[in-house]
Amino acid sequence: MKTTAFTQKHIELGAKMVPFAGYNMPIEYVGIKDEHNAVRNNVGVFDVSHMGEFWVKGPNALAFCQYVTSNDVAALVPGKVQYSCFPNGKGGIVDDLLVYCIDSETYFLVVNAANIEKDWNHLCAIAPKFNITPGKELYNASDEICQLAIQGPNALKIMQRICDAPVEDMEYYTFKKCTVAGIPNAIFSTTGYTGSGGCEVYVANEDADKLWKGVFEAGAPEGIRPIGLGARDTLRLEAGFCLYGNDIDDTTSPLEANLGWITKFNDVKGDFIDRDYMLKQKADGLTRRLCGFELVDRGVPRHGYEVCDAEGNVIGVVTSGTMGPTCGKAVGLAYAAAPYYKLGSEIYIKVREKLLKAVVVKPPFFSK
């Protein structure tokens, strides 16, 4: 099992450690609900060093990124970040990812931990068509980089204390290269997976201790805390963010996953993997789509529970579900057949052979 540059810190702090995506990761420190609320209302720190990072460089970098992702990479300028996905050529999704535009010939791709090898193999198979050589213009830096996500309403105020550039007023999905905690050329991005604002900081593994120390010393007055992956999951679900392997996978198209907003068909974007398939899907109309829902009846929805109509006919499946600590409601994401995925639709979640009434709503499930 792999470790991150921060694994020993988690163990020393008494975190409950579990295997996740091949890594020994902290699932919780004192309790998921408590940690969830700490991030929503204050600030918390996640070790997300298990994520993967690929560099794409050279004169063909943009054309390559345009072809392998669904979003329009040409819309990026240096300092901007974009959410996107890798279509798999069969109508599904290889992975979802972040695309950072360093400059017109340099892109930084951040992928999910569980999919690093799959993503890398997928990109390596396509790279030669664009005169891009794996190990050269396409480079896997996943084992060289560590990453902390500092999330919550007080995150940027705290991080400003250890950054040599202004960061408090940065726009969402932008980044800077700056000195953080005395570490030069750190990538500081105002992204995250919680819905409560904050940033993610990338540095080399050898600077991990310096970053950890700097972040926790800076946030001491606010009571900054380390947070486990358990709360990361409840936070992202309340925000309505997809989790690969649950809400999206190799069998779900971006359009079905309600990710049409990251799927661009304009002339600048041009051709990309599965473009024709998705254009046809769009023209024909979706037979199912991912939607958010709130339970009206008492119960808790879980991954894999059946979604039914009022007569008990199965019309879909729950992909993620929880009792939201912030919203105080049982909420979830589910694939539902047309027309049941439309806002306001009444659906039923089958829990222990009982049909519990729910209504389709638009995430996030909490008031920001």
Sheet-wide strand order for 52-57: 81-87, 93-103, 106-111, 52-57, 138-140
**Predicted confidence (pLDDT) per residue in 215-254, tens digit:** 999 999 999 999 999 999 999 999 999 999 999 999 999 9
Q: What is the CATH number of domain 52-140?
A: 3.30.70.1400
Please, is 310 exposed, middle or buried when counting C-beta atoms within 10 Å of its C-beta (0-12, 13-18, 19+)?
A: exposed
pTM over 0.95: yes
Q: Where are the domains of the chain?
A: 7-51+144-239, 52-140, 287-361
Burial class of 18 by CB neighbour count within 10 A (0 to 12, 13 to 18, 19+): middle
Q: What share of the chain in percent tops pLDDT 70?
A: 100
**Span 250-294, pLDDT tens digits:** 999 999 999 999 999 999 999 999 999 999 999 999 999 999 999
* CATH homologous superfamily for the domain 287-361: Aminomethyltransferase beta-barrel domains (2.40.30.110)
**Residues 81-105 pLDDT 10s:** 999 999 999 999 999 999 999 999 9
pLDDT given for residue 10 in this prediction: 98
The single residue listed with the structure tokens 């971006």 is 254
pLDDT on residue 33: 98
Taking all residues of the chain, what is their mean pLDDT, rounded to a whole number?
98
- In the chain, beta strands by DSSP E: 16-20, 23-28, 44-47, 52-57, 81-87, 93-103, 106-111, 138-140, 145-151, 175-180, 183-189, 198-204, 225-226, 288-295, 306-308, 314-323, 330-337, 346-351, 354-361
pLDDT at position 367: 87
- pLDDT for position 176: 98
CA distance to 12, 79, 239, 329, per residue, from 82 (Å)? 36, 10, 18, 31
Count other Cβ atoms within 10 Å, centred on residue 166.
11
pLDDT beyond 80 at 204? yes
Total residue count of the chain as it appears in this document:
368
The pLDDT, as a whole number, for residue 117 is 98
CATH code linked to domain 7-51+144-239: 3.30.1360.120
Confidence of residue 368 (pLDDT cuts 50, 70, 90): confident
Q: What integer is the mean pLDDT of 339-360? A: 97
Give yes or no for a contact between 145 and 205, defined as CB atoms under 8 angstroms apart: yes
Query: From CA 64, how far away is CA 127, in angstroms rounded?
Result: 7
